[in-house]
Amino acid sequence: MDKAQDSKSWSIRDIIPENHPRRESLLIREKLIEAMEKSILVPQGLIAHGRGECFDYLIGEKTQNFAEKAIEAAAATLLLAKTPVISINGNMAALVPEGLVRLAEETNAKLEVNLFYRDERREKVIAEVLYKANAKEVLGVGEDASTVIPELFSQRRRVSPKGIYIADVVLLGLEDGDRTEALVKMGKKVIAIDINPLSRTSRTATITIVDNIIRAVPRLVEKAKELKSKNKEELEQIVLNYNNKNVLAESLKFIANRLTQLSLSL
């Protein structure tokens, strides 16, 4: 470890040149490392993020049309929901806490902490991050996570009886396939933000937003604001016209075409 890394007196913002082509991505990594140091994130969260970065390369690091379609359907679904819940894990709390709180406000959704590697301290730290981002209520902390999702054997099966357990729509991000499947089996509509169109979560969810959570959450907030002026029938029409299989297929075709184009330009 060199001397600069030994001290906390330096800022990574000063070390990475302004014109570094991967500056944003490096700053995001740093954010995650800081979150790990504060126990918001576990080291496994860093690995999950690395997998995501790879897919971001493949989709061209932009919100593509297939994601826009899913974002519109997701916003409409959240606005139509009776008991929507946004499920929060370490990566989400580390990267987009304010955006998630705003999305909850715009769509009248509840916020609930749900962790793969659950421990009470981390639950509390994540809830604090959300309160600091202006959340009014955070479910799933301590005794509140007292109900069990059937057919799920990790700690993520513990949910709030006021939140995920009774939710008709659950929005989640960077989630494991097992729990997505269990929630769908319970009859819930699941909106997943997962940049890997091949993951089990992406393939099981009702609506899959194949995009980086950093871009998808602010876009969802904008979309929810915009769609609020529409009536129930118009929102239902958006949901009815949406086809998740087609959107996933579009994302794969996009990647395939993009790679072909790139290979021809060499």
Nearest residue to 111 (alpha-carbon basis) of 93, 88, 91: 88
Minimum CB–partner distance for residue 94 and ligand ATP (Å)? 10
Helices and strands: H and E segment counts in the chain? 13, 8
* Residue 136 interface partner, choices ligand ATP, Mg ion, none, CB cut-off 5-8 Å depending on type: none
Is residue 89 close enough to count as binding ligand ATP by CB under 6 A?
no
- Segment contacting ligand ATP by CB under 6 A, of 7-15, 44-52, 244-252, 254-262: 44-52
Which residues contact residue 186 at a Cβ distance below 8 angstroms, ignoring those fewer than 6 apart?
Answer: 149, 150
Is residue 175 close enough to count as binding Mg ion by CB under 5 A?
no
Is residue 181 close enough to count as binding ligand ATP by CB under 6 A?
no
Q: In this complex, which beta carbon is closest to Mg ion, that of residue 144 or of residue 176?
A: 176
What is the 8-class DSSP label of residue 173?
E
Is residue 176 close enough to count as binding Mg ion by CB under 5 A?
yes
* Residue 100 interface partner, choices ligand ATP, Mg ion, none, CB cut-off 5-8 Å depending on type: none
Minimum CB–partner distance for residue 75 and ligand ATP (Å)? 17
Distance (Å) of CA 107 to CA 36, 54, 101:
30, 31, 10
Q: In this complex, which beta carbon is closest to ligand ATP, that of residue 80 or of residue 179?
A: 179
- Rounded Cα distance between 36 and 170, Å, is 25
Length of the chain: 266
Amino acid identity, position 156: R
**Scanning residues 194 to 223, which ones bind ligand ATP (CB under 6 A)?**
194-196, 199-201, 212-214
Q: How far apart are the first and last CA of the chain?
A: 38
Is residue 193 close enough to count as binding ligand ATP by CB under 6 A?
yes
- Rounded Cα distance between 102 and 105, Å, is 5
Q: Kindly list the residues in this chain that would bind Mg ion in the complex (CB under 5 A).
A: 176
List binding-site positions: 29, 51, 194-196, 200-201, 212-213
